[in-house]
Homo-oligomer: A and B are copies of this chain.
Amino acid sequence: MKKKLTIGLFGFGVVGQGLYNVLSQTHGVKAEIKRIAIKDKSKTRTLPQELFTTDKTEILNDPSIDIVVELINDHEAAYAIVKEAIEKGKHVVTANKRMLAENLEEFYELQQRYGKSILYEGSVCGSIPIIRNLEEYYDNDLLTSIEGIFNGSTNYILTKVFEEKKSYADALLKAQELGFAETDPALDVEGYDAKFKLVIAIAHTFGVFVKPADVINIGIDKISATDLKYAKENNLSIKLVARAFKQGDKVFAFVAPQFIEAHHPLASIRNEYNAVLVEGAFAEKQTFVGKGAGSYPTGSAVLSDVSALTYGYAYEYKKRAQHEALSFSNDLRVEAVVTFEDQHSVSIKDFETFKSGYAANGKQLLQGILTLAQFKALSERDGVSVLLAANATFSPIAESVPEDLLAS
């Protein structure tokens, strides 16, 4: 039986306002916003002043509030709010991917201990119902991989750069104007935002908690004119791809730009759209596409979480029970394309296996197999751009013999 729920909302930015509008227009969600905690009470609001407060205890200490919806930017303040809300017996809905990614294991334990839910569908790919489907629909499938375009802002930039030949800076500015971009653009363009989402998705795909700091992210900020030229000549596009997959008892995961063939399902994902490709033993290949950013798409996901709380929904982290032996690893070889202008930047020796290369007008391109660590290291050299090759294959590095065995 659905019961009427009372919401305390933290933050009244674009998503919070979206939620408020959606809640007031839709039928059937038995929930109302009682109080909205904000930072700056002097801002002009379209709603009655008495709804707002700058004192978080007016929500956290109010026993009539069942759900805290946390939609603020500051991930550290958000962490404190979520933790205190759960400890005070409230459910939480949040879309704060950084905070979730950094604290997911603790939040898992807090949910078990206090018997309250933390739901966060809006944190991963906006309106795409990926977490719920991983939990419920694929609860018994043996999933082997999840990958996709997890950041709308960079995909918007790449679309504009490719299709409208806009400059990178112009495209970024436009993405910010349209409200797709994070306040700190580095979170988007350096691949952190996609990584936070990937870390959350991994918990529900493979049942493994991974620290964001352990996952390699390479962004789109160093993509070169040579990369664009190579893409056009080979009928490829470039996408920032987040991926995680299982091989044996290991889970591998990373975020990196990649050349994408025209027929690939990600090739047609344009502008601020996100896409998630899930592969499992039984459902085989599934694709989900939807808007990854913006006030309504994220507000819709948050609303769906609120609605789920009216019938007592909680994530069970079902894959965790199934795959206890899986562990995260970066011991992987990848196939990469490396471009640079200064001929001394990169040499064939930087590759484990060199495949091909060319140089023209001072611009160089090398392709070959690298370890993930080498790939990351090259990405950090000045004037060097690295991308995964189109249809890159990935092969785990066989485990070396443990040192204690060698010593014996």
Q: Measured between alpha carbons, how far is A286 from B273 in the docked complex, in Å?
A: 9
List the one stretch of A42-50, A52-60, A131-139, A357-365 in contact with chain B.
A131-139
List the one stretch of A70-78, A288-296, A340-348 in contact with chain B.
A288-296
- Tell which of B270, B287, B300 touches A141, judged by Cβ atoms closer than 8 Å: B300
- Tell which of B28, B267, B318, B321 touches A318, judged by Cβ atoms closer than 8 Å: B28
Chain B CB count within 10 A is highest, among A141, A283, A307, A308, for: A283
Q: Measured between alpha carbons, how far is A318 from B297 in the docked complex, in Å?
A: 21
A113 within 8 A of B: no
A287 touches B290 (CB 8 A): yes
- Tell which of B26, B128, B138 touches A282, judged by Cβ atoms closer than 8 Å: B26
A28-B321, A268-B268 in contact; A284/B127 too (CB < 8 A)?
Answer: yes
A285 within 8 A of B: yes
A179 within 8 A of B: no
Q: Measured between alpha carbons, how far is A321 from B2 in the docked complex, in Å?
A: 14
Could you say which residues of chain B place their CB within 8 Å of the CB of A393? none
A235 within 8 A of B: no
Could you say which residues of chain B place their CB within 8 Å of the CB of A270? 263
Q: Measured between alpha carbons, how far is A20 from B133 in the docked complex, in Å?
A: 23
A27 within 8 A of B: yes
Q: Measured between alpha carbons, how far is A141 from B321 in the docked complex, in Å?
A: 33
Copies of this chain assembled into the complex? 2
Query: How far, in Å, is A294 (CB) from chain B's closest CB?
Result: 8
A137-B304, A140-B303 in contact; A127/B286 too (CB < 8 A)?
Answer: yes
A115 within 8 A of B: no
A8 within 8 A of B: no
Query: How far, in Å, is A115 (CB) from chain B's closest CB?
Result: 14
Within A272-329, the residues touching B (CB, 8 Å) are: 280-291, 294, 296-297, 299-301, 303-304, 307-308, 318, 321-322
Which single residue of chain B is at the shortest CB-CB distance from A278? B290
Q: Measured between alpha carbons, how far is A129 from B130 in the docked complex, in Å?
A: 11
A300 touches B282 (CB 8 A): yes
- Tell which of B133, B140, B291 touches A26, judged by Cβ atoms closer than 8 Å: B140
A–B complex contacts, Cβ < 8 Å, 28 sampled: A18-B282, A22-B140, A25-B142, A26-B141, A26-B282, A27-B140, A27-B322, A28-B139, A28-B321, A28-B322, A127-B284, A128-B286, A129-B133, A137-B304, A138-B304, A139-B304, A139-B307, A140-B303, A263-B268, A265-B268, A267-B268, A280-B300, A282-B303, A283-B290, A283-B301, A287-B287, A287-B288, A287-B290
Residues of A within 8 A of B (CB): 18, 22, 25-29, 127-129, 132-133, 136-142, 263, 265, 267-268, 270, 280-291, 294, 296-297, 299-301, 303-304, 307-308, 318, 321-322
